Each structure stands twice: as structure tokens, then as C-alpha cells.
Amino acid sequence: MKLFRHENRERSHATRRVYALYELAYTAVDFGAAICFLVGSVLFFWPAAETPAVWLFTIGSGLFLAKPAIRLAREVKLLRMGRYEELAERVER
């Protein structure tokens, strides 16, 4: 079994559920990053709000960093779930 394979997420109801939950987390982080960058950009119009704008850009950057981490965590979880299922199938035989 390899990472980032479509078959990994389609093996069972449990893998489809895990995939969906990670996709929800990924989408929430994506929206959070976009909102931070949008609000941060608007705040740069006022020099007095420069510090909060910089912080929002930093938070948005951290959220963008979290996106590939979420994807990798999802794929590792799906890969591990597949190994357990394969092991269970071997035991049943």
C-alpha cells in the first residue's frame, strides 16, 4: 500500500469517514487562512493597525503550513487502517 492512493480512502465505510473528517479539517483551515489574510490585508490600510495585520499574516501563514500536515496525517492514518484490515483478513483465513 502507498500514500496518496485513491483506493486507500475507498476500502471501507471507516476509511471514507476518516477521509471526510480530514477533508473538513483541511477546508476549515483553508478558510481560516483566507480570512486571516483578507482581514490582515484590509488592516494594512491604516498604519495604526499594522501590528494586528502582521499577526494575522503570521497566523494565516501558520494555517497554510498546517494544510499539508493535515493531508499527510490523513494519508498515514488511512495507510495504517489498511494494514490493520489486511492483518484482520489474514487472521480470518
pLDDT 10s digits, 5-58: 767 777 788 888 999 999 999 999 999 999 999 999 999 999 999 999 999 999
pLDDT 10s digits, 67-86: 999 999 998 888 888 766 66
Q: Is the pLDDT of residue 87 over 70?
A: no
Which among 44, 70, 66 is positioned nearest to 57, based on CA atoms? Answer: 44
Query: What pTM does this model have?
Result: 0.77
Alpha-helical runs (H) found in 1-93: 6-9, 13-43, 50-92
CA distances from 36 to 4, 44, 61 (A): 29, 12, 9
